[in-house]
Amino acid sequence: MSPHTNPSGPPRSLRHAEAVERAALLDVTAYDVTLDLDRGDDTFSSLATIDLVSGGGPTFLDVQPVTLRSVTVNGSPVDVGLLDRGRLPITTEAGENRVVVEAEMRYRNDGEGLHRAVDPADGRHYAYAMTFLDAAPSIFGCFDQPDLKSVWTLHVRAPREWVVMGNSPATQVEPGRWELSPTLPLPTYLVALVAGPYHVLRSEHDGIPLGLSVRGSMARHLDHDAEELFTLTGQCFDEFHRLFGMRYPFGDYHQAFVPEFNAGAMESAGCVTFRDEYVFESRTVRSQHIFRANVVAHEMAHMWFGDIVTPQWWDDLWLNESFAEYMGARVTADVTEYSDAWLHDAYSRHQWGLTADQRPSTHPIAGNGASDSSVALQNFDGISYAKGAVVIKQLNHRLGDEVFFRGVADHFQRHEYGNATMADLVESWERAGAGDLSAFRDGWLLTAGPDRLDLDRPAGVVRRTPLEGHPARREHTLMVARSDAPGGAWTLDRVVIDADEVPVTVGAGPVVIDPHLETWAVTTLDAETMAGLAASLPRTEDPMLRASAWNSLRNGYYHAEVDPAVALDLLEAAMPSEDTDDGVGFTLNWALGAVVPLAADPESARSRMHDVAARRVASAPAGSTLQLSAFRAQVSASSATDELRGWLGGASLPDGLVVDLELRWRILYRLAVAGAAGRDELAAALADEPTAISQVWHARALAAIPDAEAKAWAWQRFTGEVDVPNHELEAVGTGLWQLGQEPLTDPYVARYFEDLPATAEVRGVQMLAAVASGFYPVLAVSEDTVARAHTLLADPDLHSTLHREVVDGTSDLEHRLAIKQRYGPR
């Protein structure tokens, strides 16, 4: 049978009904995969031997090759010419079967499949696997769905200078040839492979071999961070063992920091992959360390939630992400040096989830309607992560640790190395003593949208209103913070919101609902509170109360209930006294991105935020991370080329700051936006420090230059006419749209909606979503833009991933338009 080359069209996503049918037919018992990565820079060979037990009958194999050389079932050849969009029909016999798939595969540069990256610092090549969702078949033939778990054995040939790592320990049996021992049962999406001339560090904790790795050019940075990373890893293991009563079972635990990674990290059992930006090459603020610690804990939680017990289908992805999000923040706060992890979460995650939960695309935490795997990817969002974590946290408070974790342990024991559903977990909690959880399940897990909690000050009540179209009667237990006068002391009262109106005690001063973010709801600030917060926030010592107040301000602004001018006044009054990195960094960045563009005079508003940041820089301790956080915001707000040039040269920097890699590019980017740093200067900066970070900033800055050539250059990358790695592509989208460059970018508003559909032919689903979102014309706030969006959304042939991203981008745009129409020039 001759090989089949260039199968037609992008691969089809697996539908839930197809997965159910295939799982009923097949039990996949073992994969034996041989990969030859020593065949050049473009392709590699893949040989997969799959053992399975079948009820007998037709099914299909998933494979996405450059060339499908041969497929046999029980030694009989299959017509590879039948391959269609990633699927090959096969027929199995009743009983034991062996399927053998030999193919030529292509390395990818989009962060999916087997990604191959070139380090600009030294030209060395690095590869890693990202098998999530539909990507595994681009590495090996398989049956790609989460409920067909199996044992995996990998054999890898690689260049002699490479090291190889995976889910299980890898042994170099001869130069360039590596054998990985059989794994415990894993689904296709958790298969790991990391290969290249990586710098590897090893340690041990409580009998668990530990590893860290990064590109060779970043070796000294990993050496610097290793003590903190190994310490965090050990602390997290100890706490998870204590809480779960079940030891980590996957042998070695390697954490690989890899180039051009799409997600923050991926929880592949025994070999977690992270973005290598988490190995810090420049000075960092505290919030970056908290975030990294949280990600370490989050991914480790997945070893139990997701890897030991895997969701049966993606409609229960919350069984992975909601739990890992909750456990990550909890464990980081409880047992590491970052006890303020929940404060960081309040700024970095809470509003992400609330915004997602109020869009037309909102969905339940569980049973989220993931009809196929590409739709499932869209639901890896703020609802499945941030909202799910808060809801799990609420349930933990309700049940207490003893019942909560007894139910979790029961869940692990009953479904060990298998698959489970929401119903399985709820039953485990009920067996553990939780009582009837049907109201919790129905109200919180199966009903979309948040409640809104508003203070009616004259009536002395808090009103509860569910999201329109998603009726619910959810109970909220929370605090209400009140002050008798602006600037006065706060009093906290415990309140249970179990009706549509609940009486509360109200003083003459500000009132903040849910000051410690104990529930999931859209909270707002009434007029008297808005007027009094300028005096109260600078005197508020509780950082979580301040975070809640800023979040409530953002909620009101999102719904066009706060004038941009009022928001700027409050920022100007209160931000110079904010004493946390998160409070300064996240709030000022929100102001620059959301408030300044809709102000009556955007340049004046930007100047005001620059001055606010400058005041905080001046008052912060020299050399502190608070100073650095404020200075980053000041740079982002600066349009003064003389000031930027002075900082770039180092002469006018405030004491305690240095121009390192990150700050240099942040300043160059602002100069590029202003038209004061041209292509030659940017190219020279890249050549001077040819790191991956420089490469990404360089792309962002080139797209931001205020001339027609820059915008055309960016658009070639959007359409796929010019192919670039994933991180550079995302950076180009960030740089393209700039406030004040509308004469250059206005023609691309219509082109976005015209050219977007065709990008589905040239990108995988993860980058398809990232590019649709990252290039959305967010600054084109007009009825015409909204109308163009809705015209595109009416196209029945629009790819589902693009449809979701355009729905979300348009929802946000409509909220911005409402602000502009209500408070803009009259």
The per-residue DSSP string of 387-443 comes to: IHHHHHHHHHHHH-HHHHHHHHHHHHHHTTTSEE-HHHHHHHHIIIII---HHHIII
Enumerate residues 6+ apart whose C-beta is below 8 A from 572: 608, 611, 612
Instruction: Report the pLDDT value the prediction gives residue 367, as an integer from 0 to 100.
Output: 80
CB 736 within 8 A of CB 672: no
CB distance 307 to 277 below 8 Å: no
Q: Give the mean pLDDT of the chain.
A: 95
- pLDDT higher than threshold 50 for residue 798: yes
- Phi/psi for 723 (5° steps) reads -90, 125
> Looking at the predicted structure, is the pLDDT value of residue 416 above 70?
yes
150-204: per-residue pLDDT in tens?
A: 999 999 999 999 999 999 999 999 999 999 999 999 999 999 999 999 999 999 9
Residue 679 buriedness (CB in 10 A; 0-12 / 13-18 / 19+): middle
Rounded CA separation 616/613 (Å): 5
**Per residue in 716-762, pLDDT tens?**
999 999 999 999 999 999 999 999 999 999 999 999 999 999 999 99
Phi and psi, residue 382, nearest 5°: -65, -20
Going from the C-alpha of 760 to that of each of 55, 331, 625, 756, 772, the distances in angstroms are 36, 40, 42, 8, 10
Taking only the tens place, the pLDDT of each residue in 221-267 is 999 999 999 999 999 999 999 999 999 999 999 999 999 999 899 99
Distance CA 452, CA 501 (A): 12
Contacts (Cβ under 8 Å, ≥6 apart) of 767: 110, 111, 112, 262, 726, 729
Left if phi > 0, otherwise alpha if psi is -120 to 50, otherwise beta: which for 705? beta
Please give the pLDDT value at position 507: 86
- 3-state SS, residue 353: helix
Q: What is the distance between the alpha carbons of residues 193 and 256, in angstroms, rounded to a whole number?
A: 10
Calculate the dihedral angle through the C-alpha atoms of 762, 768, 770, 774, rounding to the nearest 10 degrees.
70
What integer is the mean pLDDT of 293-313? 97
At 481, is the secondary structure helix, strand, or coil?
strand
pLDDT tens per residue, range 502-511: 999 998 899 9
Phi-psi domain of 622 (left: phi exceeds 0; alpha: psi -120 through 50; beta: other): beta
- Residue 794: partners with Cβ closer than 8 Å, 6 or more residues away: none
Overall CATH class of domain 310-445? mainly alpha
Strands 125-130 and 193-196, bridge-based pairing:
antiparallel
pLDDT of residue 575: 94
**Residue 383: strand, helix, or coil:** helix
Q: Is the pLDDT of residue 801 over 60?
A: yes
Q: Which of 725, 612, 804 is nearest to 119 (CA)?
A: 725
Asked if residues 199 and 215 have their Cβ atoms less than 8 Å apart, the reply is: yes
If you search the block for the tokens 């020593």, which residue do you land on?
Answer: 38
Rounded CA separation 172/155 (Å): 10
Map out the domains of the chain as residue ranges. Answer: 1-105+131-159+172-180, 310-445, 455-519+524-544, 563-648
* SS3 labels along 487-556: CCCEEEEEEEECCCEEECCCCCCCEEECCCCCCCEEECCCHHHHHHHHHHHHHCCCHHHHHHHHHHHHHH
Structure tokens at 381: 């969002």
Q: What share of the chain is helix, strand, coil (3-state, %, to 5)?
A: 45, 20, 30
Contact 134, 198 (CB under 8 A): no
- Give the three-class secondary structure for 200: strand
Q: Would the pLDDT of 9 be above 70?
A: no
Give the Cα separation of 784 and 316 in Å (integer).
38
| pLDDT at position 96 over 70 | yes
Spatial distance between the Cα atoms of 186 and 194, rounded to a whole number of angstroms? 17
Structure tokens at 83: 């391959």
Instruction: With residue 712 as reference, give the H or E element that holds it.
Output: helix 708-719
Global pTM reads 0.96
**What burial class does residue 625 get, using C-beta atoms within 10 Å of its C-beta: 0-12 exposed, 13-18 middle, 19+ buried?**
buried
Residue 499, amino acid: A
User: What is the rounded CA–CA span in Å between residue 416 and residue 637?
Assistant: 52
Residue 640 reports pLDDT greater than 90 = yes
Catalogue the active-site residues: 299
The single residue listed with the structure tokens 């668990």 is 208
By three-state DSSP, how is residue 76 classified? strand
Q: Which of 194, 205, 283 is nearest to 240 (CA)?
A: 205
What's residue 5's pLDDT?
Answer: 54
Residue-wise pLDDT tens digits, 563-617: 999 999 999 999 999 999 999 999 999 999 999 999 999 999 999 999 999 999 9
Please tell me the distance from the alpha carbon of residue 167 to that of residue 183, in angstroms, as a whole number: 7
List the end-to-end C-alpha distance of the chain, in Å, as a whole number.
73
1 CB neighbour count, 10 Å cutoff: 13
Looking at the domain that runs over 1-105+131-159+172-180, which CATH code has it been given?
2.60.40.1730
Q: What is the predicted pLDDT for the residue at 4?
A: 54
In which band, very low, low, confident or very high, does the pLDDT at 1 lie, cut at 50, 70 and 90? very low
If pLDDT is split at 50, 70 and 90, which confidence band does 3 have? low
Rg value, the chain, Cα? 27
- Name the nearest CA neighbour of 652 among 619, 705, 614: 614
Share of the chain above pLDDT 90, in %: 93
Whole-angstrom distance, CA of residue 91 vs CA of residue 54: 10
What is the full DSSP assignment across 662-710? HHHHHHHHHHHHTT-S-HHHHHHHHHHS--HHHHHHHHHHHHHSSSHHH
3-state secondary structure of 297: helix
Summarize pLDDT for 455-489 with one digit per residue, the tens: 999 999 999 999 999 999 999 999 999 998 888 99
